[in-house]
Structure 1
Amino acid sequence: MDLTLHCHWRDLNGPWALTVSHNGREWQLFAGTPVGSESLPFAGPDEVRRLAQALLDLPAEPEPYECEWQLSQTEVIHDKREFTHYATFAVGLDPSDGHRPYLAYQSYFHWGQTTALGLEVICEDPPVDDLRAQAHAFLTGLPGPARPQR
């Protein structure tokens, strides 16, 4: 069984993607744009279950809703300084835009005294029914105690 949660779309600039999957060692979040991509460790199985449940729980009616994850990965670069890649990933309904559903990813990098923005990937109006179906299949197929609550 493919234990992946994904949203792929295309606009005038090209293909975009937000995907959470297991790479054999750990859960990864992949963010792709027409001009680049990056990935970060997502979290453990409990947080992946929480993401799937957040997709299942996306309200059908306009109401405040957001689930957010803070991701990071630190590496020591060639000159022995730490280089940290941070990102925020969110699933929600946008209160400033008629409570439209969205998936959003924003990353930034920090090393020494410098911070720089990374990728921003936002899917407005994702295919909610498809995401719910993926989440249900994901929770049903993921080993462990949690099962879909919807």
Structure 2
Amino acid sequence: MDPIISCHWQDRQGAWALTVGHNGDGWELLASAPSWSESIPFANPDEVRRLAQTLLDLPAEPEPYEFEWQLSRTGTTTAEGGPQPHFATFAVGLDPTDDHRPYLAYQSYYDLGRATGLGLEVICEDPPVDHLRAQAHAFLAAFPGPTRR
């Protein structure tokens, strides 16, 4: 995957990452935790442009701010022989419950038939905003085009 926007960090558990990049014909979001990782399609170039603009617009002052993407993919085959749907949310914002600190958050879910199971959760608190803005600016310069709000 050719990363466009990525945030990597380390804690006592190990290495974590949230990365959006170009993978062959499409765009993917890769969420990595110390124990496992997973990827899910990230819509289309216009949605990546929207993500880049969201990062550029991240307010410096405390105020309500959150953008969220709903992502999905048909996953592996279940024991019953059908595909297992895999869903995720990805959000960029300022946390109103914690002094409006910036964050990137990923949470995935699996459709288990009669129930929904939680998948991977990756939350980057206090991401390197200046670095993310530089990546966003570089992406928008390389992939100009319309961006819908």
Q: Structure 2-normalised TM-score?
A: 0.92
Is the contact made by 2:6 and 2:20 (CA closer than 8 Å) also made in structure 1?
Answer: yes
- Paired residue type of 2:86: H
Deviation at 1:115, TM superposition (A): 1.6
Superposed, 1:1-150 pairs within 5 Å as: 4-75=4-75, 77=77, 79-142=80-143, 144-146=144-146
Figure out how many residues of one structure are paired with residues of the other and give that number: 145
Deviation at 1:50, TM superposition (A): 0.3
1:47-90 CA-to-partner distances (Å, cap 9, x unmatched) read 00000000000000000000100000124726432310000000
Structure 1's consecutive aligned runs of 4 or more residues displaced over 3 angstroms after TM superposition are: none
* Residue aligned with 1:136, SS: helix
Q: Structure 1-normalised TM-score?
A: 0.91
Partners of 2:3 and 2:18 in 1: CA distance: 14
Is the contact made by 1:139 and 1:146 (CA closer than 8 Å) also made in structure 2?
Answer: no
Partners of 1:20 and 1:99 in 2: CA distance: 24
Which structure 1 segments of 5+ residues have no match?
none
* Residue aligned with 1:52, SS: helix
C-alpha spacing 1:3/1:11, structure 2 compared with 1 (3 Å): closer
Deviation at 1:122, TM superposition (A): 0.3
- Paired residue type of 1:54: T
Deviation at 1:3, TM superposition (A): 5.5
* Residue aligned with 2:140, SS: helix
